[in-house]
């Protein structure tokens, strides 16, 4: 019998973490084309953003912003997010009533995800002084604002020339009565359009006679 060094459970789930970059998304409510929307969005470092959040939590815990209403111990919700097609090359995300189109990129280096220590956690994580290392990743999703368009609008962009108004081809009896005319190629379409612009009433087409295709 063959000996296996490792055994894997086919039904065991595995957690993986992905960084979602929203730095290219304009703030909600910004009018497209306005002066503010044309200005570059300043990139806020993750360190300063984390420090601002920690200060806000400390002020809330110390009672500096205490009110008559009870303060909930649960952190503020960042909103719901819906992801569609994560397994595809262009995933779609709906976040704060905005449709986002994403593409996969690689991070220069490694992203590290930290959480607050949880003594009741079943599987302990790697611990630091004041945080636990949840996971690492080098994969990132870059998001840009997307716009939905009706299918008919996309189809109408491809317009075909109206061949019904063109003059019929005068074969002058050169082809037999049972000859069938095949659909013109794109080259013949362009050539016939050029002849029509010059005022030439004749048209070129492929015709089949005795099993052979001929240009008439």
SS3 48: helix
The residue ranking higher by pLDDT, 127 or 111, is 111
Secondary structure (DSSP) of 129-143: SS-EEEEEEEEEEEE
DSSP letter at 154 equals H
What's the pLDDT band for 102 if we cut at 50, 70, 90?
very high
Query: Do 84 and 97 meet the contact criterion of CB atoms below 8 Å apart?
Result: no
| Average pLDDT over all residues of the chain | 69
Q: Per residue in 33-75, pLDDT tens?
A: 544 444 454 444 444 555 666 666 667 666 654 555 555 556 6
pLDDT value at 108 more than 80: yes
Query: Do 206 and 191 meet the contact criterion of CB atoms below 8 Å apart?
Result: no
Sheet-wide strand order for 180-181:
180-181, 206-209, 212-215
The residue ranking higher by pLDDT, 53 or 133, is 133
What's the pLDDT band for 14 if we cut at 50, 70, 90?
confident
C-alpha angle 48-75-69 in degrees, rounded to nearest 5: 115
Query: Do 100 and 21 meet the contact criterion of CB atoms below 8 Å apart?
Result: no
CATH number for region 17-27+80-148: 2.60.40.4370
Helix (H) or strand (E) holding 21: strand 19-21
Q: What is the pLDDT of residue 177?
A: 40
Backbone angles phi, psi at 141, to 5 degrees: -110, 120
What are the residue boundaries of the structural domains of the chain, listed by start? 17-27+80-148, 172-216
What's the pLDDT band for 160 if we cut at 50, 70, 90?
very low
Backbone angles phi, psi at 43, to 5 degrees: -90, 120
pLDDT value at 182 more than 90: no
Question: CA-CA distances (angstroms) from residue 85 to 89, 91, 102, 129?
Answer: 8, 5, 10, 38
Q: What is the reported pTM?
A: 0.44
């Amino acid at each position: 019998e063959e000996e296996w060094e490792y055994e894997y459970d086919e039904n065991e789930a595995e957690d993986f973490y992905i960084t979602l970059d929203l730095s290219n998304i304009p703030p909600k409510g910004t009018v497209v084309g306005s002066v503010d929307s044309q200005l570059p969005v300043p990139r806020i470092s993750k360190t300063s953003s984390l420090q601002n959040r920690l200060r806000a939590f400390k002020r809330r815990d110390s009672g500096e912003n205490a009110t008559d209403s009870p303060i909930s111990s649960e952190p503020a919700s960042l909103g719901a997010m819906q992801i569609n097609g994560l397994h595809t090359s262009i995933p779609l995300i709906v976040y704060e009533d905005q449709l986002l189109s994403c593409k996969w990129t690689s991070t220069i280096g490694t992203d590290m995800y930290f959480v607050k220590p949880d003594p009741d956690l079943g599987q302990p994580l790697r611990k630091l002084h004041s945080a636990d290392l949840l996971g690492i990743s080098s994969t990132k999703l870059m998001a840009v604002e997307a716009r939905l368009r009706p299918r008919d609008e996309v189809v109408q962009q491809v317009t075909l020339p109206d061949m019904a108004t063109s003059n019929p081809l005068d074969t002058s009896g050169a082809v037999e009565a049972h000859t069938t005319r095949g659909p013109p190629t794109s080259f013949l379409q362009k050539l016939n359009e050029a002849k029509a612009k010059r005022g030439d009433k004749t048209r070129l087409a492929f015709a089949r006679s005795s099993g052979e295709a001929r240009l008439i």
